[in-house]
Structure 1
Amino acid sequence: MFPQVAECYKSSTADAARNQLGSRQPHHLLRNLPPSSGNKYTPQEIRYTLEASVVQPGLIRRTHKATRDVSFHPVSTIRQPLHSLKISKNVNLSTIASELICPPLTYEVEVELQNGPFLLLGHPIALGVKIMHMNGEKNAISLQDFQTMLRETTEIRARGSIQAFTRSWVIQTMTNLRQPLVAANRPTVGSVLELDDRLWSRHCVPVHLAPTFETCNLIRRYKLEIRLGIEFGRNYTRILEFEFPAYVLLPSFTRFTRSCVGSLEPILDRWERHVPKKE
């Protein structure tokens, strides 16, 4: 019904230099058409309309016209295999008395998006949380607070200016969990503790969100924020926040194949370059 891509032009730095020399050769880009989203009361509304005209022949020519709004959702393709995204943070626990005897206890907390930045509407987040005991004596470790939230940003370019609209969508929030982390054996130095994924497997990405898209004048992007409240032993609770880029897709139109739409590759590469690995 509609073409899968829209034609648009952006001027690069090299183009600007050529324009100064009197040559105008704009850089041509192809972008996927954005999906239907929003409503008439929001500035970021995206609506598609199908118009048809039928000419009735005869002595008196008549033209019949009809208009109907249609819903449009582009097809997305993801390359295989999917590469996970990981962010690690170190937690140092110490008191003035303990520092005189031994170095502070150190833990490494790692959060992993197992499917990379890709999130499917109506599906749970493929998430993994691990804690590695780096040194010192063992402590009982438990999860006290857990929250996942999507931050949506829509950028609109018009008449030489840019407007940005941001909204937040809480997927799951839980407090006072007191859920111990599971260890394959006793939590000795170097052991890895894993959080049970049943905690979040029943909470899904909201189905009413619009998928991620980018055109020359309109961009919809997401960030996934994960907040963990972890208790390391008695009276040692730390709040850790992790932020990932997220690419939201429609599951019914998603094909996990070995090929990838060309416009997705630079976006994925740009994410991989900007995700921090460790603090």
Structure 2
Amino acid sequence: MLASIVLDQTFPHYTNLDYISGKVFVRTQTATTVSAIVVKLEGESRTRLLPPPNPSNDRQKPQLEFHKILYKTIAVFPPPEIVGQQGSSGSLSGKTAYTLPAGQHEYPFSFKFPFNNACDPASNSNPTISLFGGLNVEMYKSPHSHVKKTLPPTLVGFPGEAEIRYYVKATINRPSLFKENVRAYVPFNFCPIEPPRPPPSDALGFARRRHQFNMNMPPTPAVIPSKSKMASFFGGSKKNNGSTSGSTTPTAPFIAVDIRLPEPAILTCAKPVPARLVVTSLNGKVTAMTLTSLQLEVVAITKIRAQDVGRVERSSTVLFSRSGMAIPLQFGDSVAREAIAPNGGGVESEAEIDSRYWSDTPLPNAIPPSFETCNITRSYEIFARIGIRYDGTAADFCKPQTTTIDLRLPVQIFSGITPPPELLEAMSRAQAQAPPLPARKPVASSLAPVETVQIPVQPVQHVEHSGEEPPFGDAPPSYEDAMATDVQPAGGIQRAEYVPPVTAEDPLLNSGRGEKSGWH
């Protein structure tokens, strides 16, 4: 018996509210008995980390954590109209058996993606054999906490450590205890709808660093000693050149380098970075300054947790990198500022680095948007490294010198898939109709002194799930989940192709179609 799945759509990725449909094909050479054919839409988040070494040097066992973030099922066989009819027979396993004649059979299915994850503590507590361990059997423990958030995107790139997978699985259940079930898998990429963006504003988010160039002063002339204390009192100390003290002290350039983004700092998948790099002279010294090197990166910060073990992985994607440049910085008109620079002088002028160096380079389609799920969190930073050379002048007693300034600015990355207008309107109506807060009782005043007691505030933590049921039951579904059944998919919107890399050691792809697999 062979089984395969063919999807109707050819999207590079799916998103919330999308329908995913297709057919399950079952081919048998002889008449075969089956009890049911079930199709599942599943998403899983898995992590595996080694704890730090202990003082006793005992071999540490890997800590594993597993979350079923998406789980929907549909039985495509037997159809409801033939259940209970003649032709079924009993079996040793106690399941009802149906006979499939020889040939090829097809069964359609369809699912709709929800908004939020559906991490079920009951399903996650079941031990599952890990594929990460190879020939070693590693069992998953019940996770400590769960987070209800928007479904995270597909995440790869951490083989044997962390991954988020989505797939459609078909299982042909056999009634006999001596015949294994047949399974077929079709993995696919998922990228969530972005949250509603704030209205545009003129506010800017920025990161700034200042730098003071060095100045090499000439040696101080020797002071001619005075013969009389009175002469020193009235005439001052004379130097060997006959001049008196109090001459103007030359100053070296004092600059600040900024990276600026519209506030809030949001980047969009598969689109260029709208960043601005600005060099500001804080004391009016703007001559003979050039840009020698420039590098712009997107830094991904992935926080991975497996039970009580945590790790932070950092990786970067270079958008632009060039050295050996000699581009003069063109400073604009000087502007007097009230904030006087530390080395004196209150005149500022700006020179903006040409954004055409990186404005034609979009974010790669393998970068997932920012997300948070039960055991994996992804955030981002923009990293800029700017090299500036000051050639110096004889009047400032400065030699040519070069400095490199590093800037980091936290950002969010959105998927670029905007929510449907119907959903945004429904959400705004729901927020406008929210019930008012209950009125508080006035507190009676008292002339007696009141002793103030400081109560420490506990940090907000994720919801903990234990074996006992909570006293108030489960939380109601979010408004997005309630609307997901009525709002149609986000059609007519051009989607950027989110295509994470696939390695040759992919366990889900290599587990095959119609073969036994450790993914349950």
Indicate the residue corresponding to 1:80 in structure 2.
Answer: 199
Further displaced range: 94-103 or 217-226: 94-103
Indicate the residue corresponding to 1:179 in structure 2.
Answer: 327
Secondary structure at the aligned position of 1:190 is classed as: strand
Indicate the residue corresponding to 1:44 in structure 2.
Answer: 162
| Count of matched residue pairs | 235
CA contact (8 A) 2:370 2:380 kept: yes
Change (3 A) 1:89 1:98: farther
CA contact (8 A) 1:181 1:196 kept: no
Secondary structure at the aligned position of 2:148 is classed as: strand
Change (3 A) 1:212 1:230: same
CA contact (8 A) 1:146 1:175 kept: yes
- Does residue 413 of structure 2 align to residue 248 of structure 1? yes
Further displaced range: 87-96 or 36-45: 36-45
CA contact (8 A) 1:182 1:196 kept: no
Indicate the residue corresponding to 1:35 in structure 2.
Answer: 153
Measure the CA separation in 2 of the matches of 1:92 and 1:128: 22
Measure the CA separation in 1 of the matches of 2:145 and 2:308: 18
Measure the CA separation in 2 of the matches of 1:113 and 1:128: 7
TM-score of the aligned structures, taking structure 1 as reference length: 0.71
CA contact (8 A) 1:7 1:29 kept: no
Secondary structure at the aligned position of 2:362 is classed as: coil
Out of 224, 234, 250, the position equivalent to 1:102 is 250
Indicate the residue corresponding to 1:271 in structure 2.
Answer: none
The code of the aligned residue for 1:2 comes to: F
The offset of 1:110, in angstroms, is 1.9
* Equivalent runs, 1:227-246 vs 2, <5 Å: 227-234=385-392, 235-246=400-411
The code of the aligned residue for 1:224 comes to: I
Further displaced range: 164-173 or 238-247: 164-173
RMSD: 3.5
CA contact (8 A) 2:252 2:285 kept: no
The offset of 1:204, in angstroms, is 2.3
Unaligned runs of 5+ in 2: 1-111, 121-143, 174-180, 221-248, 337-346, 393-399, 428-520
* Equivalent runs, 1:261-276 vs 2, <5 Å: none
Change (3 A) 1:67 1:89: closer
CA contact (8 A) 1:229 1:237 kept: yes
CA contact (8 A) 2:254 2:285 kept: no
The code of the aligned residue for 1:95 comes to: M
CA contact (8 A) 1:118 1:248 kept: yes
Out of 113, 119, 125, the position equivalent to 1:2 is 113
Measure the CA separation in 2 of the matches of 1:98 and 1:204: 50
Indicate the residue corresponding to 1:213 in structure 2.
Answer: 371
* Equivalent runs, 1:52-131 vs 2, <5 Å: 67-77=185-195, 78-81=197-200, 83-97=203-217, 101-114=249-262, 116-131=264-279
- Deviations along 1:2-36, whole A, 9 cap, x unmatched? 32212569xxxxxxxxxxxxxxxx99853111111
Further displaced range: 219-228 or 152-161: 152-161
- Deviations along 1:84-133, whole A, 9 cap, x unmatched? 31122222123131798234432222221236431222222111122222
Change (3 A) 1:51 1:146: same
Measure the CA separation in 2 of the matches of 1:244 and 1:186: 27
Secondary structure at the aligned position of 2:217 is classed as: helix
- Does residue 278 of structure 2 align to residue 158 of structure 1? no
Larger of the two Rg values belongs to structure: 2
Measure the CA separation in 2 of the matches of 1:112 and 1:38: 31
Indicate the residue corresponding to 2:84 in structure 1.
Answer: none
Considering Cα pairs closer than 8 Å and 6+ residues apart, tell me whether 1 or 2 has the greater RCO: 1
Further displaced range: 114-123 or 210-219: 114-123
CA contact (8 A) 1:115 1:126 kept: no
**Superposed structure 1 runs of 4+ greater than 6 Å apart:** none
Change (3 A) 1:108 1:165: closer
Change (3 A) 1:146 1:46: same
CA contact (8 A) 2:191 2:368 kept: no
TM-score of the aligned structures, taking structure 2 as reference length: 0.40
The offset of 1:196, in angstroms, is 1.5
Change (3 A) 1:90 1:166: closer
